[in-house]
């Protein structure tokens, strides 16, 4: 199993990431979703997923 933490740096944006906790076996796949709303529009290419300080494709 593995555990991931999420760190967000945003301004005037509400971010909702689901699931907040997930338990999977090593080698299994899982999905995370990120929804955000706010005064400013955020482009998808400006959202980066990191695990262990390494960028992951989404």
d(CA 13, CA 42): 9
Place of tokens 């300080």: 53
d(CA 49, CA 57): 7
Place of tokens 């390494």: 54
Residues 9-54 have pLDDT tens digits of 656 666 667 667 778 898 888 887 777 777 767 777 777 777 776 6
**pTM (2 d.p.):** 0.36
Check whether 57 has a pLDDT greater than 60: no
Read out DSSP for 5-33?
------SSEEEEEE-SS----TT-----E
């Amino acid at each position: 199993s593995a555990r991931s933490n999420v760190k967000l740096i945003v301004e005037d944006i509400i971010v909702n990431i689901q699931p907040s906790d997930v338990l999977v076996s090593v080698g299994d796949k899982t999905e995370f979703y990120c929804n955000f709303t706010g005064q400013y529009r955020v482009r998808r290419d400006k959202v980066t997923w990191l695990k262990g300080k390494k960028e992951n494709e989404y």
